[in-house]
Amino acid sequence: MSSAKNKTLGAFAAGLMAATALVTAVSVLPATQAIAQNQLQAAAIDPSKGFADLVDRVMPAVVSVQVKYATVAASEDDQAQGGKQMPNGMEDFFKQFPQFRNMPGMPGQGGQGGDGEDHPNGGMAMGSGFIISADGYAVTNNHVVKDADQVSVTMKDGTEYKAEVIGTDPKTDLALIKIDTKDKKFDYVSFTKDEPRVGDWVMAVGNPFGLGGTVTTGIVSALGRDIGSGPYDNFMQIDAAINRGNSGGPAFNLEGEVVGINTAIFSPSGGSVGIGFAIPASTAENVIESLKQNGKVTRGWLGVQIQPVTEDIAESLGLKDAKGAIVADVTEDSPALAAGVKQGDTILKIDGKDVSDSRDLSRKVAGIKPGDSVPLTIVRDGKSMDIEVKIGTMPDDPKMAAKDNGSKEDTKVVSLADLGLKVSSAQDGAGVTVMDVAPGSAAADLGLKAGDTILEVAGTEVHAPSDVRAALKANDKKKVLMLVKTDDGQRFIALPTAKG
């Protein structure tokens, strides 16, 4: 998939991320007798004979999650509009099922939070969840229970219990809740230990539009999706229909194990179009265990600003493959700085495991226990080396590395015609400032713009246009690697030279 498509997908999915918890206050689950308490898992079912046996097996562990928010004064816009507007397609739904139209909290009713996150008028919202232990621990999404004053769950038989939020992790959009009961033992399900494969069957169970116990089936469509929702995106894409209210609900394999937590959809209309995203069990299990033990997630921290190694960057560095993560900046007082990691290093392995790209490195570092020392394989100045780094604990607000100021030289504008740039010495002496970028040039195509600062050229710090010329002259490759500082941070770009 192209970068443009990835960005489009990320924009749509991230925008709908918080819209998957439906606002409703009524469960329409029929009352049935409760069954025995045990771990709901057995041999795989045969999908050619239907999914009814699997549904019977896992349904007692799936819950509807209701949350209540404090009521605050409505805004003038909300009062003028009479509350939330009707989502696309819901008017036809209410024509067919008029008994649902006037339920408190349904779309179009004033005074209710509309998506499980934004609740300026207080009210209620609803999502999904599933029980993972006999004593009543359950999993849902962070955006379902975020800022909730009260949380409750409704079982398959219609029984409702109060619940407490044990901990949340916004970075992965996961939350752990505990059902408030001392004597009751619950049926529960477990996370799978097996990695899903593209093409595997999945069955989603949840509470879309307040219709609890809804079951849909499909397959794993793709793995490793980055939808732009957080730094550790690694979503499983499924085509089983999930809609608003499915948030936090489980996606099962044929053995009745949870392979994912339904979290987001890609949809121009707000309804299912067969593209849903679930947090993989391998990600969720570690996060949930940390929340259970500590009430929060403690992650490993290296302290570097990184970016992927593109084909152009790999060529400019003389690397065989476009793999790994290149260090654009090193944070002050960080484990990376203490270990001797430098700006421009390319990280190829950590703890003996290959690093495919910058996202992969972030996930691997986050999964290492703080305090552990691990080997880091890097490439510096064309040479591979191993260094030992003691992983730290990720701070709540990591600091970015401060740059030393260089000497200040002339401030006149100099043209670098071969690169399509006009530059001048930066006012603080650190780098050279881009004054103009020729339209249609390679620099413009790579996103370089006036006001950006070039800090390094071909691994050499620059403080004046003459430094840039000297570095270009010494460069013997078809492309030259530049470290550029923008409003969004620092990154490397590889510009073609006259030698190319």
- Considering the candidates 115, 169, 173, 239, report the single residue annotated as catalytic: 173
Backbone angles phi, psi at 349, to 5 degrees: -145, 150
- Considering the candidates 27, 128, 143, 362, report the single residue annotated as catalytic: 143
- Considering the candidates 247, 272, 282, 334, report the single residue annotated as catalytic: 247
Cβ partners under 8 Å of residue 168, min gap 6: 142, 145, 146, 174, 175, 176, 291
Find the length of the chain: 500
Active site residue 143: yes
Active site residue 119: no
Active site residue 247: yes
Active centre residues (catalytic): 143, 173, 247
